[in-house]
Structure 1
Amino acid sequence: MMTETTEYQKTLSLAAYLFAYPHAEWWAKLPACRQEAASLENPQNKQIILDTLDYIEIMGHKEYEELYVRTFEFSANTNLYLTMHDRTDFGKQAREMLEFKNLFLDNGYDLNKELPDFLPALLELAAHLSAEQAGKVLSRIQPKIELLRQRFVAAKLAHTFLLDVILTETDELEGATA
């Protein structure tokens, strides 16, 4: 059992949190997120996460919540369900969904509230695994994150930079376990 949280675990947990729905409890925990982000060693990741927190807090509860719903729940192009971006082949989508479900089950986790292709859930999964296992999970979803990033860029979303943080962590974990 890991006692001390490593850099990649903190980073992935923070990214997962910032991609989660902004309900009242979520807002209440933002100061703790800021403290956690300030403790990151990677200066670029630290700055991106702190800038994202600034962006969210400046926008405020109502406006950010509306942006979140419009962007991540109602948009087919920028939602956070990774199998939804290629909906031309529903058989393929079903197979991918099963693969994501197995990713959780194979690592000793099960989802009861979320679909297995939900980006924050996958990031949380990776944050709770060893570096080697986390690298495998992130490598598996990397092409989907890269596609999502392209769509975020086209939509001019500030959250694009959080995807950059995730891709940086993916590269570092792949390098550490190669």
Structure 2
Amino acid sequence: MMNKTNEYQDTLILAAYLFAYPDDAWWAGLPECRQALGALENRQNKQAMVDLLDYIEAMGHKAYEELYVRTFEFSSNTNLYLTMHDRTDFGKQAREMLEFKTLFLANGFDLDKELPDFLPALLELTANIPEGQAGKVLAMARPKIELLRQRFLEARLAHTFLLDVVLTEADELKEATA
């Protein structure tokens, strides 16, 4: 049984997984993902992720992969790179990217395959650091996550509920470290 201390870690790892690219290994890992969701104590977060997983599985491999690519890779409004949604100032975007890179390095992690503003990577980082640090990382990223949530809402994406889960965890981490 998970204890509450690890709940944020498990929740954020599962959220990162559900935001990952749906390749064959990802699909093969869904039963394990579903099992891990069953162990979460926060019923609202658990239900949101189970509902998303049901939606994804009902779509099937090909349809979900097409939706994923169209939504998260080809759309400038709904991609998972947090500094890409306010591209009016490229100097600002570069500074924000550096801030995200610094977050990873300051917490003993480096990314060699992904940009540091990639939401699943950021969620994995927060799941692998102590609660206080995780709260600070999510607080720093919160405005970007909220903007992305608004874009998801406008696009009527089921993944909006997954961002709600992330924001709920950010709130709980903020309360726990206040």
TM-score (norm: length of structure 1) = 0.97
Cα distance in 1, alignment partners of residues 99 and 149 from structure 2:
22
Cα distance in 2, alignment partners of residues 135 and 5 from structure 1:
13
What is the one-letter code of the residue matched to 2:23?
H
Matched, 1:27 2:7: no
Cα distance in 2, alignment partners of residues 164 and 73 from structure 1:
21
Cα distance in 1, alignment partners of residues 152 and 31 from structure 2:
26
In the TM superposition, residue 41 of structure 1 has moved relative to its aligned partner by 0.1
In the TM superposition, residue 6 of structure 1 has moved relative to its aligned partner by 0.5
The superposition leaves residues 101-137 of structure 1 with CA deviations (integer Å, 9 ceiling, x where unpaired) of 0000000000000000000000000000111010011
Cα distance in 1, alignment partners of residues 20 and 103 from structure 2:
20
Matched, 1:18 2:18: yes
Cα distance in 2, alignment partners of residues 49 and 126 from structure 1:
18
Aligned to 2:127: 127
In the TM superposition, residue 177 of structure 1 has moved relative to its aligned partner by 0.1
Question: What stretches of structure 1 of length at least 5 have no aligned partner?
Answer: none
Mapping of residues 110-149 of structure 1, within 5 Å: 110-149=110-149
Aligned to 2:65: 65
In the TM superposition, residue 5 of structure 1 has moved relative to its aligned partner by 7.3
Cα distance in 2, alignment partners of residues 75 and 41 from structure 1:
34
Cα distance in 2, alignment partners of residues 30 and 5 from structure 1:
24
Aligned to 2:75: 75
What is the one-letter code of the residue matched to 1:28?
A
In the TM superposition, residue 54 of structure 1 has moved relative to its aligned partner by 0.4
Q: Secondary structure at the match of 2:31?
A: helix
Q: Secondary structure at the match of 1:6?
A: helix
The superposition leaves residues 43-99 of structure 1 with CA deviations (integer Å, 9 ceiling, x where unpaired) of 000101111110110000000000000000000100000000011100000011011
What is the one-letter code of the residue matched to 2:15?
A
Q: CA RMSD in A?
A: 1.0
Question: What stretches of structure 2 of length at least 5 have no aligned partner?
Answer: none
Aligned to 2:86: 86
Cα distance in 1, alignment partners of residues 38 and 58 from structure 2:
18
Cα distance in 2, alignment partners of residues 147 and 93 from structure 1:
15
